[in-house]
């Protein structure tokens, strides 16, 4: 299952553009940028993305990258359990 990672253009001021470009290079991910994801409170406050529709947020872009990796691992583990 390919994770879908959605970025808000308006959130790029937190420094998430580098993470967007990095994740976009991974052929195992579907990375999409939208003009607005409708989470304005989150967007204003923290760097964040949606991973398979769930908000993943952190205080810094570096922490966000770690949080995204953890969320993807969690999703993969759930699918592995379902496959057994």
CATH number of domain containing 47: 3.40.30
Q: How many C-alpha atoms does 7 have within 13 Å on its Cβ side?
A: 26
Strand, coil or helix: 47? coil
Report how far apart the first and last C-alpha atoms of the chain are (Å, whole number): 15
Residue 81 has pLDDT above 90, yes or no: no
65, 34 Cβ separation under 8 angstroms: no
Provide the number of structural domains found in the chain: 1
* pLDDT tens by residue, 36-76: 999 898 889 999 999 999 999 999 999 999 999 999 999 98
- Its domain, for residue 32, covers 4-83
């Amino acid at each position: 299952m390919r994770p879908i990672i959605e970025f808000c253009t308006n959130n790029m001021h937190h420094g998430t553009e580098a993470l967007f470009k990095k994740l976009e290079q991974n052929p195992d991910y579907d990375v999409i940028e939208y003009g607005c994801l409708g989470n304005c409170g989150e967007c204003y406050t923290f760097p964040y993305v949606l991973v398979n529709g769930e908000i993943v947020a952190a205080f810094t872009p570096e922490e966000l990258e770690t949080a995204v990796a953890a969320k993807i691992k969690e999703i993969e583990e759930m699918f592995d359990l379902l496959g057994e």
